[in-house]
Amino acid sequence: MALSIYRRHREGCKFADKPANKIGCRCSLWARGTIEGKSVRESLKTRNWERAEELIREKEGSREKQKRIRLADAIARYQTDCESRNLANATIKKITKLLEALQKFADSKGLNFLEQIGVAELREFRDSWKTWGALTQRKNIERLKAFNSWCADNKWTEKLPRKAIKAPEIEPSKVTVFTDAEIHKIHTTIKNPKMRAFILTLQHTGLRISDAVQLRKQDITDGRLLIRTEKTSADVWLPLPPSLLAALAAIRTTEFYFWTGASKLTTVIGSKRRGVAKLLKRAEVRGNPHKFRHTLATNLLSNGTSPAIVAKILGNSAKVVEKYYDHWIPARQAQLETELQKTWDSRLVRVK
């Protein structure tokens, strides 16, 4: 890295053929050279030679300082920033897992500083994701770009080109739901009252399993449930059916219905997920806890509930609901059929 100072003389300057640091010349001073292999030419916005030299030292010193940011320090400071922005715990956990993997990859390659992690290294890091599915990879590429953008905003590194790291192609996910017969088989198979209450909670609230396990006694007032969803942190009021209220009332608790509050949240989520999986296997029904959420959403839409209302219940945006449940919206299907039927009576036009 080297920068040199030169004057851009005005037309007719009598010092044009003299040394650049000639005291009598008052033409503007510029810097030129290369930094990290990139050509640089810019005005120093001064006519004073001593001031120009000072600015060059500051630029070069600043660049050297930027080079010394360690990857581990950048990761730690980014995690602190994520926490200060009150991101959901689940989101912070995913970011932490990704950046821990990045640090492990960098350590294996002997890369200690942030400046050493360029496009080629990040592509190699992406290629090492052998156990992550295509959707997870797409999400992690977004998280990597967010980390890089944050570091670039701090002037620690260069911002990645928009298409520097391409995500894998994935097929659109297809929403599947439980049929009435499958719901009946599931409830017939249940023997444990607490599991029945948990299944009814998933079935009638559409809560994600991470929210359902945190259901508290004080969250229910006058037969309605108030809960702040983990993903969107939005308040949602939901009326509960008598069957669910009765099942919850049978559970002895002073706070949480499905969690002691003492163990880690991730532990109880994993336990409940395995419990539901075993139940569905005994009932010979294919699915997972999230399928109850899909079932509630599609039932609401099929009954004519607007996507905006369904989105509020699910804690999503209306656009997300329309994206994943479009074919379940009667109005859209009716419009499609109407538009097609308009073409039935049109006469064929012979083309010569």
Helix H, strand E, coil C: the string for the chain is: CEEEEEEECCCCCCCCCCCCCCCCCCCEEEEEEEECCEEEEEECCCCCHHHHHHHHHHHHHHHHHHHCCEHHHHHHHHHHHHHHCCCCHHHHHHHHHHHHHHHHHHHHHCCCEHHHCCHHHHHHHHHCCCCCCHHHHHHHHHHHHHHHHHHHHCCCCCCCCCCCCCCCCCCCCCCCCCCHHHHHHHHHHCCCHHHHHHHHHHHHHCCCHHHHCCCEHHHEECCEEEEECCCCCCEEEEECCHHHHHHHHCCCCCCECCCCCCCCHHHHHHHHHHHHHHHHHHCCCCCCHHHHHHHHHHHHHHCCCCHHHHHHHHCCCHHHHHHHHHHHCHHHHHHHHHHHHCCCCCCCCCCC
pLDDT of residue 352: 56
Between CA 298 and CA 307 the distance in angstroms is 10
Between CA 165 and CA 149 the distance in angstroms is 13
Contact 183, 203 (CB under 8 A): yes
CA-based nearest residue to 108, from 131, 92, 117, 94: 117
pLDDT of residue 345: 63
- Tokens at 245, concatenated: 């209220």
Tell whether domain 71-153 is in CATH 1.10.150.
yes
Tell whether domain 180-335 is in CATH 1.10.443.10.
yes
> Can you give the pTM of this predicted structure?
0.62
Q: What residue ranges do the domains of the chain occupy?
A: 2-67, 71-153, 180-335
pLDDT in tens, the chain (352 residues): 467 888 888 888 887 777 666 566 888 888 888 766 667 788 888 888 888 888 887 776 655 555 578 999 999 999 999 999 988 888 899 999 999 999 999 999 898 998 888 888 999 999 999 888 888 999 999 999 999 999 999 988 888 887 888 888 877 667 889 999 999 999 999 999 999 999 999 999 999 999 899 999 999 999 999 876 555 566 778 899 999 999 999 999 889 999 998 898 889 999 999 999 999 999 999 999 999 999 999 899 888 888 888 888 888 888 888 888 877 777 677 777 887 887 776 555 555 5
74 Rama sector, left if φ>0, alpha if ψ -120 to 50, beta otherwise:
alpha
